[in-house]
Every structure is written in structure tokens, then in C-alpha cells.
Structure 1
Amino acid sequence: MAADYRLTLSLWVLLILCVSLTQAFYIPGWSIKSYSDGETIPLFVNKVYSDSTQLQFAYSELPFVCPPSGRKNGLGLISGSNVALNLGEVLRGDRIMVSDYQLEMGKDEEVRYLCSHKIDRAGMRRAQEIVKNGYVAEWILDNLPGATSFVTVDKRQKYYAAGFKMGSEDLSPTTGKPRYFINNHVTLVVRYHRAPGRDGNQGKKVIVGFEVYAKSIEAVNRDASGLPENIHDVRNGMELRMPRNTTTTISGDTHTDFSPEMSEHYDDSATLTIPYTYSVYFREDENLEWANRWDLYFVNQEESSNIHWLAIVNSVVISMLLTAAVAVIFMRTIRGDIKGYKENGIEEGKLKIRARKGHRSPRMNSAEKGGLLDQLDADHDADLSSDDESIEDTTGWKLVHGDVFRSPANGGILAPLVGSGMQLLFMSLGLLALSCFGVLNPSFRGGFISVGMALFVVAGAFSGYFSARIYKTFGGQLWQKNCMVTALLFPGLLFVTTFILNLFVWAQASSTAIPFGTLVGLVALWLLIQLPLVYAGSWYGFVRVGSWTHPIKANVIPRQIPLQSWYTKSMQGVLVAGLIPFAVIFIELLFVFKSLWQDKSGYYYVFGFLAVVSTILILAVMEVTVIAVYIQLCSENYNWWWQSFFVGGGSAIWVFAYCVYYYFHHLHIQGFVSMLLFFAYSFLACTVYGLLTGTIGFLTAYAFVRRIYGAIKAD
């Protein structure tokens, strides 16, 4: 016991040290780009997104922004040309394009004209919709997203929020109706630092910050070149409103109507011209190094570190209580039971049992008098009465030793599910490890999804291996069929769901929609790479390695399971057991959900905390499953195979319930398609989580059952 507690204490100390190390270790990018004075810096436009909807749109495809001119910049890039994207960038809705904005290192521009774009009434309504829904734009300079700067509550530190507002909304002082203003002027502030090493000695600079400040400037009071008279004193904004003078004929007379309501129904040929300008300022920042330039995007997360520590303390307390419970089960209860059996004796691997006085076998209670089961129980009782030794009564988990390794119903489905869970576990551990060591970082745009897809495909070999071995352990013979089910079941669910959702997103012309070519590429990855890997793993696991052997053979005739308590029944047991792992992670879920659904432009980057909480979660799932299976076996219920899988993944039900709560209490998502995307993606995420934790629970329960019944057999 003392050694076990010392090991547990050492594990917690190691995990806490990992938090410090993972926070300190950071790989900011793949290479440092330095610029000489006067060198062209390309600016890329990406997409617009909003907290009130799940639909994103490519910035360059908006009907009210300046279309690309197609001219070359100093680096030979043509404005309007698309930038090659990796798989992760495509799946997250990025659509990066070279812009017409001209920036030269160290050269300030107080105001510069970009274009005047004429839009019709449909374009104006589109612009109003974008402004009304609070869309923000993402521009990219030197791989940094353009950001709006803020200060912390105590005003001691500055931090960034990626993106800038496309416009603003207010109420008309006369009519009380909403008015919409488009931000047609941006002030770009580029913060730089002296380049390290030889480039710095040559006078080159590196970019350490990119800030965008947007404002709305009216179209009137401009000079011949389209520039406003005074960029610093703006009295009126660029309102998204068509001219109100609408001409119609009444009784042969020409009548001019200035009613706003009339203008909404007439004069569809009217247009609105929006002039676009920008300013550029370069400012040196001596306090910020290039290697730390992403820190400003994470200051807000660092401010909440106390809450993260609270989540870890909460998880550690729950895990310690579970560890104590498992220690009692192993060290006192089970060891005492096995010791009693060792003293009373075992004959040919079967426990010699003396029935209690007045106690009848479950089979006898359920069978009709004079039946076959009655005769078998009578013969069994006769064998017991012939034994002159005094043997203690046997109850609980010991009674089901002859049925505990009986193959479960629908084992041909359970084996592929466990195989898919191992595939997801390999992928998740790989992503978490790479993130903690800084390989997957915000400067590697789309890297998390791209690497995750690669790990998932490669892990197909693990999926096939574990699925085939479990399938053969259950007595299956058609391993090729099991291989196909393993390769197609879960990936097929993901693909079909994504494809159906994509149809809705396509109809909205959103950049969130996955292009058809990308869908074809995903199918090729699935069928041409993953499926052969699953086949190879299945062949090796089924043919070369074979099944796991059980310490006790199953009886020919199964026992009847007695009436179960409410907490040992399937659904109730899963809900009760799943609540404990959910309690371990629900605080950290707040930050994950906020990053995913509210701060779409933000980056979740406290992977050190996430790694610790994930480790404690795995321990909690393992310990909860052991306790639940032990209670079930003590109730003489030997159908633990599926139950252990459901108990391990039971917290996924609570996570999905929390998603529903989060949607109605924290989000302001509008529209049917956005609601559908939220709940569909939440369901898929909870399915992934449930498969992963369910697999952990299943394998833990299998090891536990083999251990305790193997100990009885050995004694």
C-alpha cells in the first residue's frame, strides 16, 4: 500500500512539472523572415466570421469589397491569386488571397486610396447582413493575423483579439430604426523589432505585431483622388443606405417621394459607391522579441490560469478518491476473497461451493419443477453434500467465474468499435504530445487538423490489429468481414455526416463548405491508404498473433442473472458512472468551448493544462470502470463486456448535455443551418470522445477481470 501511494504521489508531481515545461517550451514557427527598409510586405486577405453564426465567407468574394486589380507587387505576387492551402486550412474554411494593399517596410502612409466600389441594392443588403451579424475580417501579414488591441482589466498588459470589425450598427435618432455603417478605412500598424543575428547587423527587421483599426468615413467631402479631407476628424460614417429620392407617376403627374419605406420597394437600379482607403504606420517595439510575438494573442488565456489550476485541483481530488476506492477493492476485498479460496481449496479450476441453508440456485428458481435445470442442480448439490470439508459460503463475483468470459452478444460490432477507439486514442495522444512540445502552434496554420488527419490514417493499422484480436477472442472467424466493418464503420459515419452538412453549407455559399476536390481527396485517403492499413493490421492481429487466452473456460450452460439493483442496470449505471469523469473535465471544457464556438479567431493554447487534465481523465475512466465492473460482478451479472465500454464512454452523454446547455445559455447563434452545424459537430465530437474513453474503459475492465479470475485460477 505504501509503495502504491508513493507511486501515485510521484505521478502527480511529474504531471505538475509537465505543466511548467510545456508552458515554457514553444516553437513559434518554421523560419524567421526579415525585411530590409523599403522591401515589399505582402498582405493577404482570408475570411470573415462571426460569433452569431457558424457560416464563414471568403473576404475576396464579398460583393461590397474592392475586387483584386491583378497587378504584381514587388515580390512578383499577383493580387487576386489564391495561396496554396494545406488540408487543415481548407477544412477550417480558410480562403487566402493576395490583396492590393501595398506595404513597404519602414514607410508610413498617412492615407492612401485603394478603390471606389459600386454596389447595387442586393450588395447593400449583403453588406448590412454582414454588419448586423457582427462579422470580423481576418487579414494576414507575415503569418500574423491582423488584430484589434485591448488592455487587461488592471490596464497593466496589452493583448490582441484576432480580426477587426467589418462595420457598426446604431439606432437612428429620428426614426429609432437601426442604421448600418461599413468600415471603409483601415489603419494598419506594423510593429517591428531588430532582426536577430547577421540580419540585424545588416539593418533588417522582423515583424512582431500586426494591428488593424477600422473606421467608417462618409463618401462626401473628398478630393479628386478620393481621399478624405481630414482623416483624423471624421464626423459622419459611410452609411449603408441607398438614395431616398424615388420617382413614380400618380395620375399622370411625376411625384418625388423621399420616404425610406418607399425606397425599399422602388428604384432597384439605384447604386451606392463605397470609397476604400487605408493608412500604414511602422512602429518599433523593443520589448517584444520575434520568438514571443504570439504571446499577445494568449494573454487573455494566461489571465485565467488560476481557473485552470482550479480545474486541475478538482480533477486531482476526484482522481485520488477513485484511487482510494480501487485500492480498497484490490488490497482488501479481492485479496481477502482470493485468500479465503486458497484456504478452502479449488478443484480443477472450479470453485467448490456449499449452498446456504434454504438457499436455492438461481437456475432452480427459474426452471419448472422436474425440468432439466432442476436435475442439473440436484446433481450439483449432491456433489457438494458428498464433500466432508467445511467450506465457506460463496457469493458475489466468485459465483460467475464460469460465465465471466462468455463471448458477448453482437461482439462483431464491439470489436470494430474498440478498434476505432484505439485509432482515435493514438491520434489524440499524438496531437497532444506535438502540441505540448510546440510543434503544432498557431503559426502552423491548419497544422492541428492536417496532422490529426495524418495520424488518424496511419493509426488504421492499430485499429485493425486490436479489432481483429478482440474479434478472434470472441470466437469470430470471418476476419476479412471484421476488417471491412472496422475500416468503414466510424470513418463512414464521419464522411456521411460531413457530406450531408456540406450540402446545407454549399447552399449558403459559405467558405466553410468543403470543396468537391477535397472531398474526393478525403475519400482517396480513406479507401486507398487507411483501408489497406486496417487490412494489414487485421491480418497481423488475427493470423499471426491470435486471440487472448482466458484463465477460466466458460460453462456450457449460462447462469441466470438475478434481479439487479437500479444502479447496476445498464442505462442508470452508465449515467452515474459517466458523471464522475465529466466532473474531472467540465471546468476545462469551458475554455475549449469558448475557443471553438465563441472566439473563432482565437487560439486555444494552454495545452500543458489540457495534457494534465487529459491524463487525470484517463485515470478516472479506468478507475470508474473498475469500480463499476466490480459492483456488477458482485451482483452476479457477468455481462460486463458492453457495459464496460458504455461506462467508459458514459461521460460523453454528459458532455453532449453540456453542449446543449452551452448553446442556449452562452451562444447567440442564429439561423437553422448554424444551429444544425453546431449540434451535428457537437454530436460527432462527443462520439469521438465516447469511442475513445469507451475503449479505455473496455480494455481496463478486461485487464481487471483477467487479473482477478487469473489469480483464483493460479491459487
Structure 2
Amino acid sequence: MRLLVACALLALLQLSAAVRLPAAIEQAVGRQLLSEKDHSYQPDDKVPLWASKVGPFTNPSETYEYYSLPYCQPKDGVKHKLLGMGEVVDANRMASTPYQLQFRKNRQREAVCEQLLDQEKLAKFRKAVEEDWYFQMYYDDLPVWGFIGKMEKLFKPGGVTEYKYYLFTHIDFDIKYNDDSVIEINVSTDPQEAVDISEEITDIVKAKFTYSVKWTPTLTKFEHRLDRYERFPLNPVHLEIHWFSIINSCVTVLLLTGFLATILMRVLKADFIKYNKDDPAMEEEESGWKYVHGDVFRFPPYKNLFCAFVGTGTQLFYLALFVFVLALVGVFYPYNRGALYSALIALYALTAGIAGFVASSYYKQMEGELWVRNILLTCFVYCGPFLLMFSFLNTVAIVYRSTAALPFGTIVIMILIWTLVTIPLTVFGGIAGKNNRAEFFAPCRTNKYPREIPQLPWYRTTVPQMVMAGFLPFSAIYVELYYIFASVWGHKVYIIWSILAIVYIILIVVTAFITIALTYFQLAVEDHQWWWRSFLCGGSTGIFVYGYCFYYYYARSDMSGFMQTTFFFGYMAMVCFGFFLMLGTVGWRASLMFVRHIYRAIKCE
């Protein structure tokens, strides 16, 4: 038990190391909680400029180390900054740069170095310019970006097209300060000072890299220096359109849900009146959902897998809930490097006991005997496919020598968290669930032999029902999906967590209701095998989201290349599988409550 507590503390320390206090909390608790040497400077103090990564602008996952391009290196050698686990997972690799940016010290066109670019180096820079590469740096934890160069298209007589490649060699740093703090930094490249590196050049090119620094005072306080990044992704007009689209979508879905709920309640009311009449003749002609009261609580086939799905889906539901709580209190502020990844890793490990308890508890209630196999299956039902997918994608990143490939040390830490925290918590939760004395509540007795299910039309089979069940919840989140994808697989910043929380609540409510409605229609035609059907219908929204991935990739984005394609569809497959488990659990739990309610309200012998 002590080892388990120690591992849990280790996971929490990893989260706290990578998640810095948001600006509002910093202001409340005071600057003394932060290291003064990190954010408080005296004139001429050296503030390091860290180079994070470079890569094609259209392929966010295809990132490389800054010095994979033949840039000038510091005279005393390249130094690397120690990063948190979330920062490493976010493909950041902090390396020192030769730029001297002392606090409040202006510089006018100072030289960094003169470099001779041979054909091999020219080819690397030319490829970067052609693919529209950018660089990302951090200065006092503030991000800056710039492009490597530019490409021009020239039209010559005779319809001949020629491409010219230019490498930017000068960078202007415009930095704002308030008292002893860095408030804002902007980077611009000078197109007038660019070196021609076109293909027709066969000689060695001499490139002189320079930079300039301009410091400007500002009245913005340190606590509000990140506000500009919150305004950057969406201007007021786009924000208003965003809110309007979400409200319009939610109102439409809620109206449709309300209409269906009204109809279902009226039908149920008529059923209760009919089935509760003391009429022997009606009992002989019993039909509809009351007819299958002796089979509706018959446990589903493959209950081991079913309970593992339910347990894991419950864990993911609470994981999403905790993430929203952290987001709404301001932990995930813009460009808080790796905070979300650290939170996901730590919270997934610490909520593993929920999956074990729920899965084992339901498995015991369903009279399962192989409880050890059930606990092991719960441990691997999501982590197993994710591990296989990660191994493949990490191998692809290693082949590409991308920073998206996790270092061996980070992989070891994640495996230790999984083996020393996630699995033990799942096992302990499973043992607690096995020893839980709760009995499965069924208002009706189950017959010894199942009734035969009548022949049903094709639109009442599983696949058409899944299509109908997934469409309505997907329509509730369709508008928001674009903004989420543009943030995760693009360069926009998602900051409106309140909207996402509202959409999440609506998604849960709509999924629960549409699954209840379809379960009623299924029982009304005397089909009592609703257990797996309700789970599949509830989780079908995840399949719709994965279908949206193809639309976004090929119609709304400029992503290309084998690495970016595999990363996008590979990781989104795991995200959608998690959606499937979570929403499937919501659908089944809602259907279980509904079925218990309607059969408790009638007389069943």
C-alpha cells in the first residue's frame, strides 16, 4: 500500500511539475511562489532563448529538433533544458541558442555567425523553405514563431515557371517589459535580408546570420501577460459566430430531443394504463414490452468483455469530468506546455480504481466466476490497443527522426506509472468490487429459457439502430469538433472551455435519451436482447466522430505525408474508441435505469 501511495504521489508530482499556476492563481497567492530568477530580472540579466522545434506548418505532428537544420550553434555548445513529462509528450525539445537577449538591452543588427553552406546544407534549407517550415522558440516561457524562408514563383517567357528559394538570415526581436518582468515578445524576419538558395546555385553560399533586439516599456502587468494569447485565436466577430453556432445547434438538438421525450412519455403513460388493468382477457393477449418481462433482465453474452467495457467507459467518463474541472479553474491556460498531456496521464492512472471496481462489481452481480480474468481484461481493454498503436506510431516517428518520438526515459516513466499505479489501482478496485455485497436489482424474475425473438425488419437491426443513435448526438457536437480539431491538429488555441463543458453535458444528455428511446422501441417489438444493443447505440457517436476525421483531413486541412497521416488517423482511432466506451457506458446505464423503472411500474408475475 505504501508503494501504491508513493507512485500516486509521483504521478501527481509529474502533473504539478508540468502544470504551472494560472495567472489568476499567481496573482492571488503572490509572486513569491514562483522562482524569482525565472520571471524577475535586473537590467542586463541574461534571459535564455530556447529553441523548441521546427517543422512543416501544415503538419503539426511532423516536428524536428531546431538543429536538425544547419543553423548557427552557441559557441559554448548546445545545452538542453530539463522538461516535464507533458512537455516531452508535446514534442518539445528545448535547446539553447546563440542569440544574446539580455533584459532591457537593445541591440542593433548584431552578428550571430557567418556560415558556409555547401550543397548538403543548402538542400536541407531548400526543403524546409519549399515545405513552408516554421520555428518555435520560448523566451521566459512565452512562445514565439517565425518562418525559415520564403519561396517565389517566377513566370518566364515561353510559359516556363521558375522557383526561387530564399533563406531568412535576420531576426528582429521586439520585446516589451514592465518593471522587472518580460511581458510580451514578437519576432519578425526581414525579407530584404535573405540569401538566395535556389537550385541553380552550385557554389558554396556564404550566409551571415544577424539579429536585433528592441525593448519597449508597457503598462501591462505580469499577471495579465497571457491575455493576448487568449484573444489571439478568435477575434470578437468569430467568437460571436462561434457562440451563435453552438447555441443554434444545441437548441435544435434539444428541441428534437424534447419532441421525442414528449411522444415517448405519452406512449409510456398509455402502456402503464393498459398493462395495469386487471383484465384476464388482456393478459392472455399480452404483447409488447410487457411480454418479454421474463427475459429482459437475462444477462448478456460475453459478460466478461461487457463489464470490462462498462468499467473502462466509467473511468473515461470521470476522467473527462476531472479534466473539465481543471480547465474551468484555469489550469490549462494558453501555451502551458504539456499541461493537458500531464493531466491526462496522471488522471488516467489515478482513476484506474474506478474501472476495476465498476467492472468487477457488475461482473459479480451478473454471476460471473472468472473475476481474475475480468480484472486483467479491464486493465488491457483500452491500454492494450493504445499500446500497440503507440508502438507503431512511435516507430514511425523514430524513422523520421521527429521530436514526436518519445525518448526512452519518458517511455520508461510512463510504463512505471502504468505498472506501479494504473494496474495496482485497477486490481485493488476489482477486489473491492468483487467483495461488494450489492445484488443486481431486477423487478421481474427471469425465465429459465429465453423466448424466441420474432423476425424484425432490417431497419430494426443493430447497424441501422446505431446509425440513428449516433447521428443526433453527433449533430450536437459537430460545430465544436472543428474548433477542437483546429486546436489539436492545427495551430489555433482552444480557450473557451465553458462552451466545451456545455456541449459535453448536452452530448451526455442526448446520448442517454436517444439510447433510452431506441431501447423502448426494441422492447416494444419483443426483442429482449437490449444489453449490447444499448451499449453499441450509445457508443456509435464515436464512429461518427471518426468518420468526421476523414472529412476534416481531406477537406478542411492541408495535412499530408505518411507520418502526419498515420499520426492523425492512428491517435484519432484511439480517441474515438475512448468515446465509444464512454458514451456506450452512458447509453447502457441510462437504458438500465429506464428498463428497471418501466418494469417496476407494472404488475409482472
- Alignment TM-score, normalising by the size of structure 2: 0.89
Change (3 A) 1:25 1:325: farther
Question: Could you say which residue in structure 1 is the equivalent of 2:194?
Answer: 237
2:579 partner letter: Y
Aligned partners of 2:174 and 2:214 also within 8 Å: yes
Provide Cα deviations, 1:630-654, integer angstroms capped at 9, x if missing partner. Answer: 1111111111111111111111122
Aligned partners of 1:338 and 1:712 also within 8 Å: yes
Question: Could you say which residue in structure 2 is the equivalent of 1:308?
Answer: 242
Counterpart selection for 1:181 from 132, 146, 166: 166
Provide Cα deviations, 1:321-370, integer angstroms capped at 9, x if missing partner. Answer: 3134224424x33233234333327xxxxxx7x5xxxxxxxxxxxxxxxx
Separation (CA, whole Å) in 1 of partners of 2:185 and 2:155 = 36
Counterpart selection for 1:321 from 244, 256, 259: 256
> Is 1:708 aligned to 2:598, yes or no?
yes
Separation (CA, whole Å) in 2 of partners of 1:409 and 1:458 = 30
Question: Could you say which residue in structure 1 is the equivalent of 2:524?
Answer: 634
Aligned partners of 1:426 and 1:455 also within 8 Å: no
Question: Could you say which residue in structure 2 is the equivalent of 1:348?
Answer: none
Alignment of 1:248-397 (within 5 A): 263=202, 271-286=204-219, 288-299=220-231, 300-303=233-236, 304-309=238-243, 310-330=245-265, 332-344=266-278, 354=281, 391=283, 393-397=285-289
Change (3 A) 1:243 1:567: closer
Alignment of 1:347-496 (within 5 A): 354=281, 391=283, 393-442=285-334, 444-496=336-388
Change (3 A) 1:562 1:25: farther
Question: Could you say which residue in structure 2 is the equivalent of 1:259?
Answer: none
Aligned partners of 2:535 and 2:584 also within 8 Å: yes
Change (3 A) 1:243 1:178: closer
Aligned partners of 1:54 and 1:678 also within 8 Å: no
Report which stretch shifted further, 438-447 or 90-99.
Answer: 438-447
Instruction: Report the identity percentage.
Output: 28
Helix, strand or coil for the counterpart of 1:440? coil
Question: Could you say which residue in structure 2 is the equivalent of 1:673?
Answer: 563
Helix, strand or coil for the counterpart of 2:50? strand
Provide Cα deviations, 1:192-236, integer angstroms capped at 9, x if missing partner. Answer: 22xxxxxxxxxx3322211000125xxxxxxxxxxxxxxxxx3x6
Provide Cα deviations, 1:118-169, integer angstroms capped at 9, x if missing partner. Answer: 33322221111111111211111111101xxxxxxxxxxxxxxxx2111111
Helix, strand or coil for the counterpart of 2:184? strand
Separation (CA, whole Å) in 2 of partners of 1:508 and 1:111 = 36
Question: Could you say which residue in structure 2 is the equivalent of 1:138?
Answer: 136
Aligned partners of 2:64 and 2:401 also within 8 Å: no
Q: Which runs of 5+ in 1 are unaligned?
A: 1-23, 71-78, 147-162, 194-203, 217-233, 245-262, 264-269, 346-351, 355-389
Helix, strand or coil for the counterpart of 2:150? strand
Report which stretch shifted further, 465-474 or 320-329.
Answer: 320-329
Change (3 A) 1:98 1:545: farther
> Is 1:213 aligned to 2:211, yes or no?
no
Aligned partners of 2:534 and 2:588 also within 8 Å: yes
Aligned partners of 2:366 and 2:440 also within 8 Å: no
Question: Could you say which residue in structure 1 is the equivalent of 2:589?
Answer: 699
Change (3 A) 1:710 1:25: farther
Question: Could you say which residue in structure 2 is the equivalent of 1:128?
Answer: 126
Counterpart selection for 2:499 from 590, 609, 624: 609
Question: Could you say which residue in structure 1 is the equivalent of 2:176?
Answer: 191
Aligned partners of 2:60 and 2:490 also within 8 Å: no
Question: Could you say which residue in structure 2 is the equivalent of 1:167?
Answer: 149
Residue 242 (structure 1) shift: 7.2
Separation (CA, whole Å) in 2 of partners of 1:502 and 1:131 = 26
Question: How many residues of Structure 1 are paired with residues of Structure 2 in the alignment?
Answer: 570
Provide Cα deviations, 1:359-391, integer angstroms capped at 9, x if missing partner. Answer: xxxxxxxxxxxxxxxxxxxxxxxxxxxxxxx65
2:226 partner letter: W
Question: Could you say which residue in structure 2 is the equivalent of 1:364?
Answer: none
Counterpart selection for 1:656 from 514, 526, 546: 546
Report which stretch shifted further, 465-474 or 495-504.
Answer: 465-474
Alignment of 1:532-547 (within 5 A): 532-547=424-439
Aligned partners of 1:28 and 1:438 also within 8 Å: no
1:278 partner letter: Y
> Is 1:61 aligned to 2:67, yes or no?
yes
Residue 521 (structure 1) shift: 2.0
1:171 partner letter: K
Aligned partners of 2:311 and 2:355 also within 8 Å: yes
Change (3 A) 1:714 1:403: closer
Question: Could you say which residue in structure 1 is the equivalent of 2:3?
Answer: none
> Is 1:38 aligned to 2:41, yes or no?
no
Provide Cα deviations, 1:601-635, integer angstroms capped at 9, x if missing partner. Answer: x3211111111111111111111111111111111
Aligned partners of 1:577 and 1:624 also within 8 Å: yes
Separation (CA, whole Å) in 1 of partners of 2:250 and 2:298 = 35
Provide Cα deviations, 1:245-292, integer angstroms capped at 9, x if missing partner. Answer: xxxxxxxxxxxxxxxxxx5xxxxxx64332211100011223x33333
Separation (CA, whole Å) in 2 of partners of 1:186 and 1:538 = 58
Aligned partners of 1:28 and 1:294 also within 8 Å: no
Separation (CA, whole Å) in 2 of partners of 1:80 and 1:548 = 63
Aligned partners of 2:170 and 2:194 also within 8 Å: no
Separation (CA, whole Å) in 2 of partners of 1:454 and 1:532 = 14
2:196 partner letter: E
> Is 1:98 aligned to 2:89, yes or no?
no
Alignment of 1:566-581 (within 5 A): 566-581=458-473
Question: Could you say which residue in structure 2 is the equivalent of 1:10?
Answer: none
Separation (CA, whole Å) in 1 of partners of 2:335 and 2:422 = 28
Change (3 A) 1:667 1:621: same
Q: Which runs of 5+ in 2 are unaligned?
A: 1-21, 28-32
Aligned partners of 1:316 and 1:616 also within 8 Å: no
Report which stretch shifted further, 118-127 or 447-456.
Answer: 118-127
Change (3 A) 1:574 1:449: same
Residue 412 (structure 1) shift: 1.3
Change (3 A) 1:25 1:442: closer
Change (3 A) 1:111 1:713: farther
Change (3 A) 1:662 1:292: same
Question: Could you say which residue in structure 1 is the equivalent of 2:18?
Answer: none
Question: Could you say which residue in structure 2 is the equivalent of 1:47?
Answer: 53
Aligned partners of 1:106 and 1:282 also within 8 Å: yes
> Which structure dedicates a bigger proportion of its chain to helix?
2
